[in-house]
Amino acid sequence: MKLLLISNSTNAGEEYLAYPMPYIKEFLGNKSLNCVFLPYAAVTFSYDEYEEKVQKRFNEIGHEVKSIHQFSNPIEAIENADAIVVGGGNTFQLTSKIYENNLIDVVRNKVISGTPFIGWSAGSNVAGPTIKTTNDMPIAEPKSFNAFNLVKFQINPHYLDANPEGHAGETREQRIEEFLEINPNIYVTGLREGCMFKIENNSIQHLGKRSMRLFIKGSEPKEFSSGDNLEFLL
């Protein structure tokens, strides 16, 4: 498999997809690919607008992007894709639409067979076993919380350590600890902004200037930096 799982699309003060674009370019290679884009996480803007934003950036590195909503047969579109790209937004809406269009199995089978998969934010969340470690509100009710199950660990994108002064609610770490109480056999990775996982066959790399925080039931959270061995996650 070839996966590029990105925490966030845009760092503060930067243009859209600016920081991950060099990684995306290297990941996809020099040959022009026809990428099928899943815009389903969009809520407050249209699929056409989302497609145009992503098209612009991918065209700059020599790749074509067409949103799946432009195809009359979404399953056939995935089956014929050179690469699959899943954008961020609301994870529950994204997952709901994936199920509505019967894409769980076809995407999973396509990626397992070697088709590159790129996702950011909600798009990286759906690469895991479930969407249960998303940060989003459940504004839509998907058929299931089960996701593409391309990796066996959960991702919490946009992971924050912050506990603002005066905030009496749970921190992100406490929310993840709740997940582990109910799902004790699944690892959770806190993927901070500006970072990503690159997975190729039996190799996994953490890329980015910030570390990744790993949560395992019964253990203290651990920090892993780029260059650390993460093969135990696969």
Contact (CB, 8 A) for 192 and 228: no
Q: Which amino acid is at 101?
A: N
Catalytic pick among 82, 158, 211, 226: 158
Contact (CB, 8 A) for 172 and 191: no
Catalytic pick among 136, 144, 219, 226: 136
Contact (CB, 8 A) for 9 and 120: yes
Q: Which amino acid is at 135?
A: N
Written as one string, the DSSP assignment of 8-26 is -S--TTS-TTTTTHHHHHH
Helix (H, G, I), strand (E, B) or coil at 53: helix
Active site residue 105: no
Catalytic pick among 7, 67, 121, 124: 121
Cβ within 8 Å of residue 13, ≥6 positions away: none
Active site residue 121: yes
Question: What percent helix, strand, coil does the chain show, rounded to 5?
Answer: 30, 20, 50
Active site residue 63: no
Question: What are the helix (H) ranges across 85-163?
Answer: 91-100, 104-112, 122-125
Specify the DSSP element, H or E, that contains 178. helix 172-182
Residues with catalytic function: 121, 136, 158
